[in-house]
Amino acid sequence: MEWDIAVNLRVTASFLGVSFGMKPDFRKCMIWLHTYSGLILGWLLYAIFVSGTLSYFNPEISQWMKPELNRGSHSSELVNQSIEYLQTHASDAERWRIYMPNERTQHWKVQWNTGRERHSQTLNIQDGSMIEVRDTKGGDFFRTFHYTLQLRGYGGRYIAGAAAMLMLVAVFSGIFTHRRFFRDFFTLRWNKFSKLLTDSHAIAGVITLPFCIMICTSALMIYITMYIPWGAEHYYKGGQRELNKYTIPALPKLDKNSEIAKKQIDFSVLQQKINQVWLGSDQIDTITIERPNREIGRIIVSRVKQQTLSNQAERLVFSSVTGQALPGYPNNSAVVNVRRVFYGLHEAQFAGTAMRWMFFILGAAASALIASGLFIWLNKRLNKTKKQHLGHLIVGRLNLTGILGLLLAILAYFQANRWLPIDIENRASVEIEVFFWAWLATLVHSLLRPIDKAWLEQLLAGAMLCFSLPIIDFSQDPSRLLGSFGQTNMIYLTFNVVIIVVGFIFLNIALKVRHRTNSVSGNALC
Find the part of the chain contacting another protein (CB under 8 A) among 14-22, 185-193, 237-245, 474-482. 185-193
Find the part of the chain contacting another protein (CB under 8 A) among 63-71, 206-214, 288-296, 438-446. 206-214
Find the part of the chain contacting another protein (CB under 8 A) among 108-116, 207-215, 323-331, 398-406. 207-215
Under rule CB under 8 A, residue 154 binds another protein: no
Under rule CB under 8 A, residue 208 binds another protein: yes
Bridge partners, 109 (sequence order):
99, 122
Pairing relation of β-strands 315-319 and 95-99? unpaired
Under rule CB under 8 A, residue 210 binds another protein: yes
Distance CA 98, CA 272 (A): 18
How many other CB atoms sit within 10 Å of the CB of residue 497? 12
As a 3-state breakdown, the chain gives helix, strand, coil percent values, each rounded to 5, of 65, 10, 30
Under rule CB under 8 A, residue 180 binds another protein: no
Given the complex with another protein, which of 182 and 235 has the nearer CB atom?
182
DSSP state of 189: -
State the nearest-atom distance from the C-beta of 343 to another protein, in Å. Answer: 15
Q: Are 259 and 295 in contact (CB under 8 A)?
A: yes
Q: How many helices (H) and strands (E) does the chain have?
A: 19, 7
φ, ψ for residue 323, nearest 5 deg: 80, 5
Q: Are 125 and 74 in contact (CB under 8 A)?
A: yes
State the nearest-atom distance from the C-beta of 304 to another protein, in Å. Answer: 15
Q: Side by side, which strands form the sheet with 108-114?
A: 130-131, 117-123, 108-114, 95-99, 284-290, 298-303, 315-319
Given the complex with another protein, which of 290 and 314 has the nearer CB atom?
314
Given the complex with another protein, which of 351 and 420 has the nearer CB atom?
351
- Residue 141: name the closest of 465, 496, 432 by CA: 432
State the nearest-atom distance from the C-beta of 210 to another protein, in Å. Answer: 5
State the nearest-atom distance from the C-beta of 200 to another protein, in Å. Answer: 9
Under rule CB under 8 A, residue 280 binds another protein: no
- Ordered DSSP codes for 295-323: TT-EEEEEE-GGG-SSSS--EEEEETTT-
Under rule CB under 8 A, residue 56 binds another protein: no
Burial of 211 (0-12, 13-18, 19+ CB in 10 A): middle
Which residues inside 341-370 make contact with another protein, applying CB under 8 A? 350, 355, 358-359, 361-362, 365
Given the complex with another protein, which of 176 and 211 has the nearer CB atom?
211
Under rule CB under 8 A, residue 26 binds another protein: no
Find the part of the chain contacting another protein (CB under 8 A) among 61-69, 125-133, 208-216, 455-463. 208-216
Which residues inside 289-348 make contact with another protein, applying CB under 8 A? 309
Of these, 5, 116, 117, 186, which contacts another protein (CB under 8 A)? 186
Binding site for another protein (CB under 8 A): 183-190, 203, 206-208, 210-211, 309, 350, 355, 358-359, 361-362, 365
